[in-house]
Amino acid sequence: MHQHKALFSTALLGLGFLLCSPVQAGAAVLANGSYCIKMEGSQLQLAPNGYRQHARVVLASASPRQAWKFTHLGNDVYRISYKSLELDSQESKIYNGVPIIIWPWHGAGNQRWTVRRAGSAYTLTSVHTKLAVDLKGNKRQTGTVFQGYQKNGADSQRFDIVPCGSNAAPQKEPPAQKEEKKEEWSTFHSK
């Protein structure tokens, strides 16, 4: 009986260690760094329509200059910054179609985003509104705005999040082409 209590106590202690392990609780979906947020399978990406507070986030042509800085806050929640402004669900309003904008950091839940894997892609969901970042009408053309919309797993809510900007892997230079040696004839050679 005493041996069973010892084994039970050891098992509980081990289970407590696993449940409280910081490795399991704090693992990040993405490492902190600069990323481009592209529509899944596309070169079109999220970018603000101008660099000013309250600018709408729109679909734009790919550019590493449109990098977003992801900062892990714990539990798959991120602060997503564009230069010194933040990805923001406008005024914390909760309705399908709420504009996704950039705004100065104030730390509320409408500027905190849950990043989750969805197969080979990712989803971005507002901590406060529980609405996903969604491409309005799934119109994959530059200038289309993003909105907060009920999570539904649609293509308009799936993103490739790839390192770019200061996080990008250095571009490999193309291999040097071998120059063909040309036989040079000089005045000292005879034909």
| Assigned CATH topology for domain 27-165 | Trefoil (Acidic Fibroblast Growth Factor, subunit A) (2.80.10)
Within 13 Å of residue 47, how many CA atoms lie on the same side as its CB? 19
| Residue 63 tokens, joined | 């550019």
Answer for the pair 49, 84: CB distance below 8 angstroms, yes or no: no
pLDDT digits (tens, 9 = 90+) for 105-158: 999 999 999 999 999 999 999 999 999 999 999 999 999 999 999 999 999 999
pLDDT digits (tens, 9 = 90+) for 33-68: 999 999 999 999 999 999 999 999 999 999 988 999
Mean pLDDT of the chain: 82
Q: Residue 190 pLDDT > 90, yes or no?
A: no
Confidence of residue 170 (pLDDT cuts 50, 70, 90): low
* Domain parsing of the chain, residue ranges: 27-165
Report d(CA 27, CA 120) in Å as an integer: 18
Residue 25: per-residue pLDDT: 46
pLDDT digits (tens, 9 = 90+) for 7-30: 434 443 343 433 333 333 457 999
Report d(CA 129, CA 50) in Å as an integer: 25
> What does the DSSP assignment read for 53-120?
TTPBEEEE---GGG-EEEEEEETTEEEEEETTEEEEEGGG--STTEEEEEE-----GGGEEEEEEETT
Sign of CA dihedral 124, 81, 63, 61: positive
Residue 187: per-residue pLDDT: 40
Residue 43: per-residue pLDDT: 94
Q: Residue 177 pLDDT > 50, yes or no?
A: no
